[in-house]
Amino acid sequence: MSHNNSNPQDDTVKNKERRKFLGIAVGVINIALIGAIVGPVLGFVASPLKRRKKGEWVAVLDDSHLAPGDVKDVSFTMRIRDGFQDVDRQYTVFLRKSDDGVVCIDPACTHLGCRVKYQSDQHRFLCPCHGGVFNQDGDVVSGPPPRPLDKHPVKVEGGKIWIYKEV
């Protein structure tokens, strides 16, 4: 490096330009470095966005065990992938047999996801969190929930009630 160029006092046009160029180059390199580390890490952290739900039919109850007009909660186990591990996760759903057949109601409150309880004496679902109330069909009666309880597809085959559950 010549003496002239390294002298900060040197105000020649050439030196000014050179300093400006080097400054921009350092800036560009720094941005590249930040991108090189932040980009991959963001992609890594955002990996769950790629996850797609998979569904499965599960037999949850003998059809004969559900009387017309009844609401019953049934638990069943599904093998799911939870992070790095395969686990048996228990789920609970409500089954209700009406004139139109069997409906399967998901217990997750549509407000913020607390588990609703069924009150058989009042024929309604009650959410313990913010007091959401749903009727037997899962429609909102009162409280903050914005939509009816979610339903899962149901079929009756071979004397068993099957539901289609996405996980």
Partner 1 sequence: MSKILLPHDDKEHTLSPEVPADKTRETETEEEELRLRRPSLGDWLDLRLGWYGFVRKNLDEPMPAGVGWWQTLGNLLLTLLMFQFITGFALAMYYTPSTVGAHASVKHITYEVTLGSFVRGLHVWGSTIIVIAVVLHTLRVFFWGSYKKPRELTWVVGVLIFQVILGFSFTGYLLPWDQKAYWATVVGTNIAGTIPVIGDDLILLVRGGPEVGALTLTRFFSLHVMFLPAMLMGLMGLHLYLVRKHHIAGPVNPQKGPPVAFYPNQLFKDAIVLLFGVGLVIYLAIGFPPALEAIADPTGTDFSPRPEWYFLGLYELLKIMPAGYEIVATAIIPGLVTIGMFALPWLDRSKSRHPAKRQWIIYTGTAVILMIGLMTLKGILETPPEHKAPPVVGATQAPSSMREVAPKSLPAEGKQP
CA–CA separation, 165 and 55 (whole Å)? 5
Nearer to ligand FES (CB atom), residue 127 or residue 161: 127
Owner of token pair 């093998």: 79
Touching ligand FES, residues 78-117 (CB under 6 A): 109, 111-114
Residues in contact with partner 1, counted by CB under 8 A, come to a total of 35
Owner of token pair 């009630």: 161
Within a 13 Å sphere around the CA of 139, how many CA atoms are in the beta-carbon half? Answer: 2
Residue 105: its H or E element: strand 101-105
The two beta strands, 124-126 and 55-62, are unpaired
Contact 77, 63 (CB under 8 A): no
Touching partner 1, residues 127-156 (CB under 8 A): 128-131, 140, 143-146
Nearer to ligand FES (CB atom), residue 145 or residue 154: 145
Q: Which residues bind partner 1 (CB under 8 A)?
A: 45-46, 48-49, 51, 53, 73, 75, 82-85, 87, 89-92, 107, 111-117, 128-131, 140, 143-146, 167
Q: Which residues bind ligand FES (CB under 6 A)?
A: 109, 111-114, 127, 129-130, 132, 143-145
